[in-house]
Amino acid sequence: MINFNKPLHVGKSLKHRKLHTIRRIKAGKICRNILLITDPSNPENLFDVIEEKVLLFPYYRERDLLVYGIAGNRGEANEILLKLAEEKYADS
């Protein structure tokens, strides 16, 4: 099951189609060139960056995912990761 964190960080290229993209991801439809920033599969990491299309694999269908951000390309994903890391370390 996929859950989206509030507030969800969204890349600049996806701002105008944020809700459409979220609906398609929840419905299990393929979205091109979408990267998801999720909670880590390895506890030693802070976040995972995965392509949306890998959610079709059984491993990800069975796993509960918390999505912190969505990005349209790797550069946007890196910007979102930087913001999330700053927020995480500011809290501690």
Domain ranges of the chain: 2-91
The residue count of the chain comes to 92
Report, as an integer, the average pLDDT of 11-40.
90
What per-residue confidence (pLDDT) applies to 9? 94
How do residues 26-77 score in pLDDT, each as one tens digit?
888 888 889 999 999 899 998 999 999 888 888 887 888 899 999 999 999 9
Closest CA to 31 of 19, 43, 40: 19
What per-residue confidence (pLDDT) applies to 29? 86
Matching residue, tokens 């890391």: 85
Q: Please tell me the pTM assigned to this model.
A: 0.88
- The conformation of residue 63, written as its DSSP 8-state character, comes to S
